[in-house]
Structure 1
């Protein structure tokens, strides 16, 4: 990955309070105990994929890098912490000088992952690492969930256009992050201008039903839109009678009309009827866009319909039923001091049930079969087997506190397309199933 960051990061505020109180109280106790400086390794991973999902999608890495870079406590924050008695004076003094100075390795954005994949590895002192837990997880869990839903919808769409249009269905800041994640997962455009401004995602949009209702007749509304936006615009044709609207649209715009949008009704039936009508009217190049509470299953059901693009909102920005990836951030290795020469010792939670984890600083690689298709996610703590040396997945993101791996968003998008194509074909089946490849620990 290169160091070019083509997104706009202007005016990024401090992320230091995007955290839970116990992160700071752990630092206070560790400082008092003399263990805060112990060299430590934390890893972000998920013990299982969301139910029915066959692969996960790594998204949010670029936002994590921004969050780490902007994680610092200003005077106003420190005053708040002091007035609320969150931590004591020595801890406040330590926080005032906080800047992450360690190293971060991780799966590159757009890559796929599986249970146990060490998606992010954070190395520094215990105190420096533990403070980043909440903000890292909040970003990765949200963005990866949206990207996974987007990837499933992209696979179902089979190359047809996908428009992200969920800004009105989620928090305003989540909407921007969702558009970014959706673009990585395979969407082509967004309706959200903030996402377009910050991340250079192509934006689209024309009009809603309100614009038609504003005018005395549907013809007047179509004429006004075409006069303003040109014949290549997209006209919304289901405010009143669809067949009449399509006829009027072609009369007003001519056969050069760019597209019509259908937002209600039996989309499969209506799309076929509209296509036939457009062709009979000579508008053979006019596209059909469908919206209306779509998800990957609805998109798949429209595979035989003459649809050129899908607009997806609510189901996308809520992860299509899986709004989080249940990633965790665990201490997996630590030394007895801050001395870089002291060996790390593996540590792991050994609780009953499904919450135990595997200790040790890990590497990951993807083993391929004789046809070049992924057959296993291999995770280890020792030496990397020679046959997997060139298949390692983690890349260096931060070195000595400096971000070294920013990249254009299109690189993550292209990486995901390639990574998904490298999985067994059953990966894109929408039926419920287990992870498409197993995770093997060595």
Structure 2
């Protein structure tokens, strides 16, 4: 929980109460030391989606490295009697010492894909469930939605501007995930500072209303920012606003922004007006409740860039990726949940993707980690080592690496897999037994 001073939540207390209940019980009966394998996967994709995008892995590893129970957290658990003294003592010395492998950020995933595998004692791995899932479910949902929007934009840049529509900490993570998935820039300055993402922004209608008239507002902005800025022209009347903008800034005006109305026809008329006024290089930026479907509908319109807020930071209708964290192996013995519609498949797994000679992906193959077949010329292993003995392995992919990986992955999908309409996953997931997810 955030403190009243505005400090962020304790990483350790992101643990769920029931995880500590399991921990205390397992420590008491001796099963907490059993070597186990936990697996993160999604049983299905969100309704209407044909692929998912892995995001948040780097944040997970950073969070696990910082996962400690300091005196403040221990005192809270002690005062509320959440755990007994023996468990408190164990938590005081906690550091993760196990191994983790998984799909790199920017990799595509499908139903059943072993996105992250955590190996260690039951005790040290079970208390990571909420921490791991809260990050991966959020970031992967955002990246999956953002990738669809980037594809719909067909090369035109998208600005992430959803910081006002989500939790203040989630906004930073959302900006990172959207950038990973192809967005060009963000308006979130903390995301720019923390992750090196280019930041962009223009004025809001409040700035326009502050001034006595539109011309005065435009002149103030141009005087400070120069003519390459973006002027917001829809506060009063768009046509009059464009006339005023070009009169104030000249034909070298960088861009105009339209934030309301039926933006397709408005962009068309704005382009005609700008060209008629001689501002042929002035760009048109549109924003206002855009999602991937709205962006796709604007593909034929003279729009140069998009600003997207609410839909991207809420996963465009799928705010969670639906991933779960399940125990699949105990001391080398496969275990699985058999509950109806919530089943899991036992055993420590690995995964690879088969491709045609042309590079088109044809299926995702899930097999026992101990029996990975020899990969063919066009097969590609999907998991990479992330943590060994509690330490992050070598140099992990950078954010730019992840952007490039995703671009290559999307190009490899069959064309049907890129459609925004409802349909089956772009490629099937096949288990070593021949069963499909």
TM-score bracket for this pair, using the shorter chain length: over 0.9
In structure 1, distance between residues paired with 2:156 and 2:322: 31
Partner of 2:20: 24
The 5 Å alignment of 1:208-219 reads: 208-219=204-215
Partner of 2:4: none
In structure 2, distance between residues paired with 1:249 and 1:30: 69
Answer yes or no: is 1:378 the counterpart of 2:374. Answer: no
Q: Deviations over 1:56-85 (max 9, x none)?
A: 000000110111001110001101101100
In structure 2, distance between residues paired with 1:106 and 1:189: 27
Answer yes or no: is 1:414 the counterpart of 2:404. Answer: yes
Aligned-pair CA distance for 1:428 = 1.4
Answer yes or no: is 1:229 the counterpart of 2:225. Answer: yes
Aligned-pair CA distance for 1:372 = 1.6
Kindly report structure 1 stretches of 4+ aligned residues shifted beyond 3 Å: 11-14
Q: Secondary structure at the match of 2:430?
A: strand
Aligned-pair CA distance for 1:155 = 0.4
Partner of 1:435: 425
Q: Secondary structure at the match of 1:22?
A: helix
In structure 1, distance between residues paired with 2:238 and 2:200: 23
Alpha-carbon contact 2:104-2:397 (below 8 Å) kept: no
Q: Deviations over 1:212-266 (max 9, x none)?
A: 1111111110000000000000000000111111111111111110000001111
Partner of 1:5: none
Partner of 1:397: 386
Aligned-pair CA distance for 1:14 = 4.7
State the aligned residue count.
423
Aligned-pair CA distance for 1:406 = 3.5
Partner of 1:130: 126
Of the two structures, which has the highest relative contact order with CA contacts closer than 8 Å and spacing of 6 or more? 1
Alpha-carbon contact 1:292-1:312 (below 8 Å) kept: yes
In structure 2, distance between residues paired with 1:388 and 1:81: 52
Q: Secondary structure at the match of 1:414?
A: helix
In structure 2, distance between residues paired with 1:355 and 1:214: 55
Q: Deviations over 1:11-52 (max 9, x none)?
A: 997511112111111111111111111111000001000011
Partner of 1:426: 416
Q: Secondary structure at the match of 1:417?
A: helix
Q: Deviations over 1:315-353 (max 9, x none)?
A: 111110111111000010111xxxxxxxx11111112x2
Aligned-pair CA distance for 1:379 = 0.2
In structure 2, distance between residues paired with 1:172 and 1:287: 31
Aligned-pair CA distance for 1:388 = 4.5
Give RMSD over aligned pairs. 1.2
Moved more, 20-29 or 149-158: 20-29
In structure 2, distance between residues paired with 1:183 and 1:234: 21
Aligned-pair CA distance for 1:387 = 2.7
Alpha-carbon contact 1:13-1:70 (below 8 Å) kept: no
Answer yes or no: is 1:156 the counterpart of 2:152. Answer: yes
In structure 1, distance between residues paired with 2:426 and 2:135: 25
TM-score, L = length of structure 1: 0.94
Which among 62, 73, 80 is matched to residue 77 of structure 1?
A: 73
Alpha-carbon contact 1:44-1:330 (below 8 Å) kept: yes
Aligned-pair CA distance for 1:119 = 0.1
Alpha-carbon contact 2:418-2:426 (below 8 Å) kept: no
Q: Secondary structure at the match of 2:13?
A: coil
